[in-house]
Structure 1
Amino acid sequence: MRKSPSRWEVAPWSRLRIIRVMLGVVGLCLIAMTLEAPNLFQPRAQLKAVGASTQQELREEIPAKPRRALIDGAKEDLSSTRSPQHHGSSSSGPSSSSKNHPQEEQGLPKPRPVEGGEEERSSPPPASSATALLHAARAARVAGAKMWQLVESNFAASPAAAKQHSSNLTTLASSPPRKNSQCPQVVIVSGDELRGTANVAVIPCGLASGSSVTLVARPLKAHPENSPHIRMLPDGQSDVMVSQFMVELRGLKLVNGEDPPRILHVNPRLRGDWSGNPVIEMNTCYRGQWGAALRCEGWLSPDEEAVDGLPRCENWLREEEGSSSKGSSSNAATRIPGKNANTWLNTWIPEPEKGGLDWRYPFAEERLFVLTIRAGWEGYHVSVDGRHITSFPYRTGFILEEATGFAIGGDVEVRSVVATGLPSSHSVVSSDLPLEESEQYKAPPLPGGSVHLFIGILSASNHFAERMAVRKTWMQSTSIRSSLVVARFFVALHSDLEINLQVREEAEYFGDMVMLPFIDHYDLVVLKTVAICEYAIRNVSAKNVMKTDDDTFVRVETIANLLKNTKKAPGLYMGNINQFHRPLREGKWAVTYEEWPEEEYPPYANGPGYVISSDIAEFILQQQNNHTLRLFKMEDVSMGMWVVQFNLAQAVHYVHNLKFCQWGCVEDYYTAHYQSPRQMLCMWDKLQKGDAQCCNMR
């Protein structure tokens, strides 16, 4: 009798059917891959060019030769330049480097043959994006033309009078400090007085080591927020309860159009943080760029991270710990209760330490507190109600003497602010470096032939101190003084005539500035990069072109030698190269889909310092003349996009190196970003002694 199959067995015909189905699925996948194969070789960020008609309009709005609108203080001619300025740096990306191999060739896009024509390689971006850029260029050009006419008429009519406009900036660097009467050693401001000054207490001469600022205040009760900034709304909820406030040490010597530097930002979050727990977050911010935050969440920091011997974060009782703390007492085994306390098992379990952690998060809603920030030797120390809470190490570029404001904001009621131990005079070396009319800082004449490297420096019209710091430091490099390397500032016009007259006089005297006939605008930074390429090719015949910013310290000799030792190949693109970066769609630096429809940026080098070879610069000018150069407001991303387009026809030699530092300064740097004028002087002094070291100033 034949045995019937078990219900767990599979009949042979069913097994065959399964195999057939699987083969069919594999076949469909192969067909789909075949159809999609051409797309596999497309760059990750599709290249789209501005349409000819729109680009033609843009060129018409930016005249090629605006009479004397484009000038160099050395009377050099720049034919057909278009651009304005500002710092267009983007965040750095995750890339690896090696000490033994500081430069690496990346596996980035390879060249592929051009198929069809320009129409097949690129397509116009959304009309709204090109229109917005066109409107910005038109407004900048119209306002710039009027402003330049005023500048030239005032300057030509009476150069002596024009020079008088800048006399308040032309002083000796060794000017004496302010009198003691202007630098009080104690500042006391009541809550009522603060409300009349937008909750900002002025500290005229900043802080010094040993200074302290004390705040007496009361956190307000939590309130609902439907769009909180410190956490996401939970699913199904329309709001979340939030109670937070911030105190900041700020630099109040503002440059028009820029946020004040946040030298120290302390943000207690009683309720509403994304973690669900009360935390204290500390950070710094310079020109809109936040550093890495220090978050204190109730855990004790490691001893090796101590600041002046104090932990960066103290521990406190967390909500989930109840009456136990994180530490030896909370981790100890539970002792057996009972009448016989000396039971044999209890002898193996240690006694809880007496005097263990018995205090919670230092702030509570509607409870008065006293917060003190003290400036130590290595960093700031924050205490609440007399107990040390957190310490924050000093960061590069943020100087105690520049902390001239103490700001309070958020859900808090201020009673008073008291600052003590203040300096009796200003520091002799101020970050507001005055202009010095010295022959030493004038630009040397342009060489008759080509140069190995041209450095274009983006600068805002009112960044007088930054430009003077560059002139006194790395622009004194041997290669620049001997004209083997040429460096120029690229400066657009300001909306203030007085500032423009000062800039005009500065350019006339130092001979190292290229003035552009536009009112400065962040969205038009990319046009300045085009101007740098054009000047480098048409005025100095540079073999390599470097773009940097006026707050970046450049090791000129090191980069020049690096270029000489780099494998001779066309299409050089050198810098701190990012890959697979995505646009930010929210926040202050948001990029809309109309501005950038792709999901990723092309590979690009960070804006504070990168180098391209002359053939890439010539390609950019050719594309601009052909009206096929796509323009995007972030200049470093634009350069990466143009290089990818160049790579379609000719190989690109990508050289990545983390020593082109985007965020501050690293050991043995090539470029160091976000450097104050005072730090520039310090770094130059160290470099002259043979040490390429950062200056973490206090």
Structure 2
Amino acid sequence: MQSSVVRIAGAIRGISIAAVVSFVSGALLLRLLMVEGPALRSLQLTWAAPVLRAAMAPTSASSAASASALEQLIPAPAPAPLPDPADTAAATTDVDTTELLVAMVSSIPPSSMQPLALWELFKPVMARRDLFAEARTKMTDAWNAWQQLLEFLRDTAASAATRKASSEERHCPYSVSWLNATDLSKGGRVVADIPCGLVLDSSITLVGAPAGVMGDFRIDLVGQSFPGERAEAPIILHHNIRLGGDQLSPRAVIVQNTWTAATDWADEERCPPPPASQQDLRTVDGLAMCAPQVGIRDSPANANASSSPPSKWPGAITQQHGKKPWFPYADGHPFAATVWAGWDGFHVTVDGKHVTSFEYRQNLEPWMVSSVRLEGSLFLTSLIANGLPTSEDQNTLRDLDRLKAPPLPPKGKALDMFIGVFSTGNNFERRMAVRRSWMQYELVRSGKIAVRFFVGLDQNQQVNVELWKEAVAYGDIQLLPFIDYYNLITLKTLAICIYATKIVKSRYVMKTDDDTFVRVDEVYASVRRTNRSEALLYGLIEGDSKPNRDYRSKWYITEEEWPLPRYPPWAHGPGYIFSRDIARFVVKRNEEMRLKLFKLEDVAMGAWIEEYGRVRKKNVSYASDANFLSENCKDGYKIAHYQNPRQMICLWQHLEQGSGPLCCN
């Protein structure tokens, strides 16, 4: 029986004409056409010329003349539709990887568009032969994402004359739902689209009932593959309920795991855990990986215990000490299960009780989720996804001017400090909270301190469209020429150094995250009190630490990646500051291909600073500040990490009202 697929998706329909015209400016696309490489040029002419022609649709006699002059520079392609993305992806596989990287980075001159100012300057980074293997893969993905975005903008420009976009249309909805009862036990599956991924506190709730005492059913959070990719999409979370047990246990069990085409199934986690397992000693966001009330350890002694009372739950596991047996799922019994995204992992509750937690695996994070897939012995009543990432409509904002980034200082004038903020594409709400809170400090609004978000492209076309509109509206986003990927965050640190030395000049440089609240005035005053303008690292300094060799950890480091038993001194990543001379050293060493890359960005910066001291024969000042909090918030903080958007606004209100640095936990 063929699988029936039910999809919930919001179609992308509109984008402001101003953004389209700005995006497909003549300078941008002419530069695209001049990229070296015959294979690329042939590919570009096919899709770039229609985009430019659509953008140049004349609105007056003078603009018509300009359009005519520009069109003469672009050879008209043979009448043919834009290539299918699958064909485009196939074409790029014939291009040398290095040529592809250089082509994309070289395609945009810094003067063309502020959000892409780093692309030209980033070329020495992406051309390195010792670049992370993941960077090359994600560079190819970024090329595909870039083409999809251009294709969408072309289609939007072509249809703008015949259709007026509604201001109520949302590319990234706050919630999606599916309300058709379906019996999956007879075969088939339900696939519900998650248009723009998940963020902190996003939740997916399904109501249903198991439809077989010996059966099982699965809840999969599935990632996304680009059109034309042959590899199956990754499974970010596999939550498998086995009521009849399996080969390892005759009793009911929940198995959680991840899957990718490259690594196949990873190490599974079971609830309840097997005998002698340390799994149940670990927690995620303070919650047990397997709630203790979910049965007992599956051991021969317990399995044969005659004192265990019979269970009214088919397949349930009885607990020790005569406690009432409990398993969250049972044949024919309705349940409401919620999967929600925490800071460090996914959590599952059933009927209001915490059941399992699953730590995010390396490079498989909630923003990558593109759909929920349900299959197996399940009667599904309804499904709803809530708290999804959605951007604010700039057309309806009353305080847009107050939220726009102030202009950068003229050439030759240095900033007091430059703050680079790590963010990912669909974290719209976090960036807005930062704009409405600590980016309102007078030091920032006056232009003495500049703040920019550093964001990679997203595999999701809808996210890229919303991200582009946001970048144009606020002027504070720097898009990077690769797909956001945890192992590539060190490249963002490099990008901050490049921006702070090549695009602006800044006495101090700060790196922080979009979930960190920064008391800008106090942080800047604290740095100035050091009386150091060179060879300075300021933050919460870790002076004696070693690599994590636990392969199950998100921060697992192999001997090949870091052979030494200890790390050099480094500052915790939620917020640290370094002097301009260190930023210059990092950029220069990278241009010379002599900068060692390491995937933990804060440790990498520590290693670069140690190398700076050795090469330049400088005594580095490591200034540690206990009020640079790497976890949560404490009254008196200078920076507070793990703050959600509501807490960000609350912290700012405390400061505005004169209450001081009080937390909002």
- Name the TM-score, length of structure 2 as normaliser: 0.54
From 499, 507, 512, the equivalent of 1:543 is 507
Other-structure match for 1:442? 404
Aligned residues of 2:406 and 2:446 also touching (Cα < 8 A): yes
Q: CA separation in 1, counterparts of 2:642 and 2:555?
A: 18
Other-structure match for 2:271? 269
Kindly tell me: are residues 364 and 532 of structure 1, through their superposed partners in 2, closer, same or farther at Cα, counting changes over 3 Å? Answer: closer
How far apart are residue 368 of structure 1 and its match? 8.8
| More moved, 686-695 vs 432-441 | 686-695
Kindly tell me: are residues 192 and 370 of structure 1, through their superposed partners in 2, closer, same or farther at Cα, counting changes over 3 Å? Answer: same
SS at match of 2:121: coil
Other-structure match for 1:632? 598
Q: In structure 1, give the amino acid aligned to 2:254.
A: F
Other-structure match for 2:545? 580
How far apart are residue 531 of structure 1 and its match? 1.9
Kindly tell me: are residues 143 and 390 of structure 1, through their superposed partners in 2, closer, same or farther at Cα, counting changes over 3 Å? Answer: closer
From 524, 539, 557, the equivalent of 2:488 is 524
User: How do 1:251-290 residues align onto structure 2 when only pairs under 5 Å count?
Assistant: 269-274=271-276, 290=284
The alignment yields a C-alpha RMSD, in angstroms, of 6.0
SS at match of 1:487: strand
Other-structure match for 2:121? 81
Other-structure match for 1:654? 622
Q: CA separation in 2, counterparts of 1:76 and 1:654?
A: 34
Aligned residues of 2:389 and 2:428 also touching (Cα < 8 A): no
Aligned residues of 1:547 and 1:611 also touching (Cα < 8 A): yes
From 597, 613, 624, the equivalent of 2:579 is 613
Is 1:455 aligned with 2:419?
yes
How far apart are residue 543 of structure 1 and its match? 1.4
Other-structure match for 2:190? 197
Q: CA separation in 1, counterparts of 2:355 and 2:150?
A: 53
SS at match of 2:190: coil
Aligned residues of 1:58 and 1:134 also touching (Cα < 8 A): no
- After superposition, the C-alpha distances for 1:648-677 in whole angstroms (9 at most, x for unaligned) are 221222223344333444444333334444
Is 1:66 aligned with 2:106?
yes
Other-structure match for 1:245? 254
Is 1:561 aligned with 2:570?
no
Q: In structure 2, give the amino acid aligned to 1:581.
A: K
Q: CA separation in 2, counterparts of 1:609 and 1:364?
A: 41
How far apart are residue 159 of structure 1 and its match? 10
Aligned residues of 2:536 and 2:622 also touching (Cα < 8 A): yes
Structure 1: gaps (5+ residues) = 1-56, 86-129, 223-238, 249-266, 284-289, 299-312, 326-356, 394-403
Kindly tell me: are residues 69 and 197 of structure 1, through their superposed partners in 2, closer, same or farther at Cα, counting changes over 3 Å? Answer: farther
Q: CA separation in 2, counterparts of 1:190 and 1:294?
A: 32
SS at match of 1:471: helix
SS at match of 1:447: coil
Q: CA separation in 2, counterparts of 1:518 and 1:661?
A: 30
Is 1:673 aligned with 2:635?
no
- After superposition, the C-alpha distances for 1:317-352 in whole angstroms (9 at most, x for unaligned) are 999999999xxxxxxxxxxxxxxxxxxxxxxxxxxx
Q: In structure 2, give the amino acid aligned to 1:245.
A: I
Kindly tell me: are residues 571 and 508 of structure 1, through their superposed partners in 2, closer, same or farther at Cα, counting changes over 3 Å? Answer: same
Aligned residues of 1:660 and 1:669 also touching (Cα < 8 A): yes
Q: CA separation in 1, counterparts of 2:516 and 2:439?
A: 12
| More moved, 73-82 vs 451-460 | 73-82
Other-structure match for 2:286? 292
Kindly tell me: are residues 505 and 475 of structure 1, through their superposed partners in 2, closer, same or farther at Cα, counting changes over 3 Å? Answer: same
Aligned residues of 2:106 and 2:119 also touching (Cα < 8 A): no
Other-structure match for 1:487? 451
Other-structure match for 2:567? 601
Aligned residues of 1:381 and 1:390 also touching (Cα < 8 A): yes
Q: CA separation in 2, counterparts of 1:199 and 1:77?
A: 37
Q: CA separation in 2, counterparts of 1:566 and 1:662?
A: 21
How far apart are residue 439 of structure 1 and its match? 1.4
| More moved, 477-486 vs 655-664 | 655-664
- After superposition, the C-alpha distances for 1:535-563 in whole angstroms (9 at most, x for unaligned) are 21233321111112233332222312222
Q: CA separation in 2, counterparts of 1:538 and 1:216?
A: 60
Q: In structure 1, give the amino acid aligned to 2:190.
A: T
| More moved, 545-554 vs 670-679 | 670-679
Other-structure match for 1:133? 131
SS at match of 1:562: helix
- After superposition, the C-alpha distances for 1:23-60 in whole angstroms (9 at most, x for unaligned) are xxxxxxxxxxxxxxxxxxxxxxxxxxxxxxxxxx9999
Other-structure match for 2:342? none
Kindly tell me: are residues 418 and 364 of structure 1, through their superposed partners in 2, closer, same or farther at Cα, counting changes over 3 Å? Answer: closer
Aligned residues of 1:686 and 1:693 also touching (Cα < 8 A): yes
Other-structure match for 1:301? none
SS at match of 1:133: coil
Other-structure match for 1:507? 471
Is 1:466 aligned with 2:430?
yes
Q: In structure 2, give the amino acid aligned to 1:293.
A: L
SS at match of 2:420: strand
Q: CA separation in 2, counterparts of 1:530 and 1:292?
A: 33
Q: CA separation in 1, counterparts of 2:425 and 2:455?
A: 6
- After superposition, the C-alpha distances for 1:217-242 in whole angstroms (9 at most, x for unaligned) are 999799xxxxxxxxxxxxxxxx9758
User: How do 1:73-222 residues align onto structure 2 when only pairs under 5 Å count?
Assistant: 81-82=121-122, 133=131, 136-137=134-135, 192=185, 196-197=189-190
How far apart are residue 481 of structure 1 and its match? 0.5
Aligned residues of 2:415 and 2:504 also touching (Cα < 8 A): yes
How far apart are residue 443 of structure 1 and its match? 0.8
SS at match of 1:456: strand
Q: In structure 2, give the amino acid aligned to 1:432.
A: T
Count of aligned positions: 477
| More moved, 133-142 vs 75-84 | 75-84
How far apart are residue 390 of structure 1 and its match? 7.3
Higher relative contact order (CA 8 A, sep 6+): 1
Aligned residues of 2:438 and 2:652 also touching (Cα < 8 A): yes
Q: In structure 2, give the amino acid aligned to 1:507.
A: A
Q: In structure 1, give the amino acid aligned to 2:189.
A: G
How far apart are residue 521 of structure 1 and its match? 4.3
How far apart are residue 620 of structure 1 and its match? 1.2
Kindly tell me: are residues 367 and 414 of structure 1, through their superposed partners in 2, closer, same or farther at Cα, counting changes over 3 Å? Answer: same
Higher helix share goes to which structure? 2
Q: In structure 2, give the amino acid aligned to 1:508.
A: V
Aligned residues of 1:479 and 1:557 also touching (Cα < 8 A): yes
Kindly tell me: are residues 201 and 490 of structure 1, through their superposed partners in 2, closer, same or farther at Cα, counting changes over 3 Å? Answer: closer
How far apart are residue 611 of structure 1 and its match? 1.2
| Sequence identity percentage | 28
How far apart are residue 583 of structure 1 and its match? 3.2
Q: In structure 2, give the amino acid aligned to 1:582.
A: P
Kindly tell me: are residues 72 and 632 of structure 1, through their superposed partners in 2, closer, same or farther at Cα, counting changes over 3 Å? Answer: farther
Q: Which has the larger radius of gyration?
A: 1
SS at match of 1:543: strand
Aligned residues of 2:430 and 2:645 also touching (Cα < 8 A): yes
Kindly tell me: are residues 70 and 665 of structure 1, through their superposed partners in 2, closer, same or farther at Cα, counting changes over 3 Å? Answer: farther
